[in-house]
């Protein structure tokens, strides 16, 4: 790749100086959005460990028959506390986009949620809650209680160019073959292993599909170790910052239509941990630019690395099925996730519907230290287009 091209893709890091209007953003803080990394903080393959150890390295067989270690069924007292806080929030008339911990007190659950946040960030990186009474509460109260719970884990970031801070994973009839325009969460297609553009992702199941739509998760660090043993050349390819990721048309003024990044990163500072940013749909949808000679096409080594990564994730994954009232929270730093293709029930039965939260955990509040200019920004990551304000709708649009 020509050095000139690399330089042209640098973006000025003006973000932290941005102070959006409170009239648009309830707390005066804007989602920072997708960025290029600070290339001078990207570490070479030689700086990566041969093997990662610790709680973030887990195998499916460690958990498949031990749900008590990763499933928490809400008890009556917890549901009562969530219900009371949600009713008070609804009565206050505050819009959903203005929800924050102070407006959603959970005095007895708080210590548990603090330890769970730590477990997500620094431990195994996933949890499945059960027994959220979505059918009893309906979509509005469920959304309030879900977002209220989310305030104890991170800050809401916008998930798309429409400013959605409460996302809806649902088939909108969008065509999944139009991968340069369509985000797969709006279709019934399979989602290959990937990480979302935020620190923690939550999925609350409101309605299930007739078949499929099942969830797979894998420890990124277990995948990394396995690849280091079996395919070190693949890991080296994945550490090089020459992977282009499509913005799929969700572009702010002055931005390139894509970012350029490695797949495997290291945190900044001494003893930085390994983390991944990956989504094959976003990498493979850029032929409109590579065909025109604007960016290089995926090299044979990259195409091979993408396939080996997917195959390895699939081989090592922990499978789970989300039932109505289940909430899955995952770390995106060190867990990759996928879902199978699915088929909805015929109408008038409801379509499969998951409410999604994208949560940010800035490095100043215990989050991972990312080599990005927004690492300390409260609402780091996400997808932000210009000054689109946050919106929290109760269903897909
Ligand atoms: Fe995802």
Domain ranges of the chain: 39-365
Q: Is 325 left (phi over 0), alpha (psi -120 to 50) or beta?
A: left
Q: Are 382 and 158 in contact (CB under 8 A)?
A: yes
Name beta bridge partners: 219. 335
How close is the Cα of 2 to the center of ligand 1, in Å? 33
- CA-closest candidate to residue 172, choices 321, 393, 360, 325: 393
Ligand 1 center to 159 CA (angstroms): 11
Ranges of the chain with pLDDT below 70: 1-18
Tell me the pTM. Answer: 0.94
According to the model, what pLDDT value does residue 13 have? 46
The pLDDT value given to residue 185: 87
In terms of DSSP H, where are the helices of the chain?
3-8, 60-63, 76-92, 110-122, 134-150, 220-230, 232-239, 280-284, 287-290, 300-316
Across 104-140, b (16+ Cβ under 10 Å) vs e yields: bebeebeeebeebbebbbbbbbbbbbbbbbbeebebe
Question: Can you tell me the distance from the alpha carbon of 361 to that of 359, in angstroms, rounded to the nearest whole number?
Answer: 7
The predicted structure's pLDDT at residue 121: 98
Assigned CATH for 39-365:
3.60.130.10
Residues 85 and 346: their CA atoms lie apart, in Å, by 36
d(CA 175, CA 172): 9
Distance set, CA 45 to CA 35, 116, 235, 297, 369 (Å):
22, 32, 8, 22, 18
Q: What confidence tens digit (pLDDT) does each residue in 105-126 have?
A: 999 999 999 999 999 999 999 9
pLDDT of residue 18: 61
390, 33 contact by CB (below 8 A) = no
CA distance 104 to 28: 19
pLDDT, tens digit (0-9, with 9 covering 90-100), for 168-198 = 999 988 998 888 888 888 999 999 999 999 9
The single-letter DSSP state of residue 125 is: -
Measure 74 CA to ligand 1 centroid, in angstroms: 24
Residue 270 has a pLDDT of 86
Q: What's the CA-to-centroid distance between 125 and ligand 1, angstroms? A: 14
CA of 11 to the centre of ligand 1 (A): 26
111 CA → ligand 1 middle, Å? 28
CA of 310 to the centre of ligand 1 (A): 14
CA dihedral 284, 289, 291, 296 (to 10 degrees): -70
196 Cα–ligand 1 center, Å: 5
Contacts of 308 (CB under 8 A, 6+ apart): 227, 231, 234
Number of H helices, E strands in the chain: 10, 17
Give distance in angstroms: CA of 278 to centre of ligand 1.
Answer: 10
Q: Would you call the peptide bond into 348 cis, given omega within 30 degrees of 0 as the criterion? A: yes
Q: Residue 294: is it exposed, middle or buried by C-beta count within 10 angstroms (0-12/13-18/19+)?
A: middle
Task: Give distance in angstroms: CA of 342 to centre of ligand 1.
Answer: 15
Long-range contacts for 176-185 (Cβ within 8 Å, ≥24 apart)? 179/281, 179/284, 179/285, 180/246, 180/248, 180/249, 180/285, 180/286, 180/287, 180/288, 181/248, 181/249, 182/248, 183/248, 184/281, 185/356
What radius of gyration, in Å, describes the C-alpha atoms of the chain?
20
Rounded Cα–Cα distance for residues 37 and 42 (Å):
8
User: Cα of 255 to ligand 1 centre, how many Å?
Assistant: 23
Q: Give 356's strand partners.
A: 167, 203
Give residue 15 CA to ligand 1 midpoint distance, Å.
25
Phi, psi for 328 (deg, rounded to 5):
-105, 125
CA of 222 to the centre of ligand 1 (A): 19
CA 337 to ligand 1 center in whole angstroms: 6
């Amino acid at each position: 790749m020509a050095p000139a091209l690399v330089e042209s893709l640098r973006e000025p890091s003006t973000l932290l100086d941005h102070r959006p209007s409170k009239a648009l953003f309830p707390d005066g803080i804007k989602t920072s959005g997708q960025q290029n990394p600070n290339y001078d903080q990207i570490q070479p393959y030689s700086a990566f460990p041969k093997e990662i150890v610790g709680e973030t390295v887990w195998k499916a067989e460690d958990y498949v028959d031990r749900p008590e270690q990763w499933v928490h069924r809400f008890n009556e007292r917890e549901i009562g506390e969530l219900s009371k806080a949600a009713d008070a929030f609804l009565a206050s008339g505050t819009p959903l986009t203005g929800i924050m911990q102070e407006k959603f007190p959970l005095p007895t659950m708080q210590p548990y949620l603090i330890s769970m946040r730590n477990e997500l960030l620094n431990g195994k990186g996933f949890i499945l809650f059960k027994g959220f009474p979505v059918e009893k509460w309906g979509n509005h109260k469920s959304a309030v209680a879900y977002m209220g719970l989310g305030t104890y884990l991170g800050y809401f970031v916008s998930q798309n160019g429409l400013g959605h801070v409460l996302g809806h994973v649902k088939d909108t009839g969008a065509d999944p073959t139009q991968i340069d325009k369509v985000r797969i969460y709006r279709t019934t297609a399979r989602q290959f292993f990937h990480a979302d553009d935020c620190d923690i992702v939550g999925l609350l199941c409101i309605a299930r599909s007739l078949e499929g739509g099942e969830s797979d998760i894998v420890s990124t660090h277990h995948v990394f170790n396995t690849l280091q043993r079996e395919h070190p050349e693949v890991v080296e390819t994945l550490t090089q910052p020459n992977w282009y990721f499509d913005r799929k048309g969700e572009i702010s003024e002055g931005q390139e239509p894509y970012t350029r990044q490695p797949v495997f990163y290291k945190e900044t500072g001494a003893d930085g941990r390994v983390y991944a940013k990956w989504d094959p749909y976003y990498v493979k949808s850029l032929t409109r630019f590579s065909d025109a000679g604007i960016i290089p096409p995926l090299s044979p080594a990259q195409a091979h690395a993408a396939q080996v990564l997917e195959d390895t994730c699939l081989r090592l994954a922990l499978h789970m099925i989300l039932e109505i009232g289940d909430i899955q929270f995952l770390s995106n730093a060190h867990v990759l996730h996928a879902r199978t293709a699915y088929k909805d029930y015929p109408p008038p039965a409801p379509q499969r519907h998951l409410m999604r939260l994208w949560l940010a955990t800035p490095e100043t509040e215990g989050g991972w230290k990312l080599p990005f200019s927004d690492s300390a920004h409260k609402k780091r990551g996400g997808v932000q287009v210009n000054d689109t304000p946050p919106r929290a709708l109760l269903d897909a649009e």
